[in-house]
Amino acid sequence: MNIIQKLFAAFAMTLALGSISSTAIAYEQGRKVFAPADAIDAVLAKIKEAEDAIDSGHEGKDIVPIVKQAMVYCKEINASDKVSANVSRGRNHLKKARKELKAEDQQVAKQHLKKAAEKFKQIKGML
């Protein structure tokens, strides 16, 4: 009888764990999930949008949310450790650009955005 109880307990636990989808729990509600290449394309699009805003003469405080959205898309780039290290370097340029935009130094911010774009294009080649 003891063996039957152990088998039943193991079967019950298997059913309980199998009925819950781990992928359904892993993502936040309403959050978009991108493939690494798609996330890189989204980051590059936001960088281009920020550069265009600088060229058209917008104030730095108006461009900061665009750069911030690019940084959010960086979180979606999940591949290897080597790719993650390079994403971190590109993200650092985005942080520097955001800092310069807050200080209203748009030319330096544009240089950092160009460096970030180059870094993310290199990362796309790594995938």
Tens-digit pLDDT profile for residues 45-86: 999 999 999 999 888 889 999 999 999 998 888 878 888 889
Answer whether 106's CB lies under 8 Å from 60's CB.
yes
Which residues, 6+ apart, have CB-to-CB distance to 124 below 8 Å? 37, 40, 41
Of the candidates 116, 87, 83, the one whose C-alpha atom is nearest the C-alpha of residue 99 is: 116
Cα angle, residue 62 at apex, residues 39 and 111 outer, rounded to 5°: 65
In whole angstroms, give the CA distance from residue 65 to residue 76: 18
Which residues, 6+ apart, have CB-to-CB distance to 21 below 8 Å? none
pLDDT band of residue 119 (cuts 50, 70, 90) is very high
pLDDT digits (tens, 9 = 90+) for 85-102: 899 999 999 999 999 999
Considering the entire predicted model, what is its pTM? Answer: 0.72
Average pLDDT, the chain: 84
Q: What pLDDT is recorded for position 53? A: 92
Q: Does CATH place domain 34-126 in 1.20.120.660?
A: yes
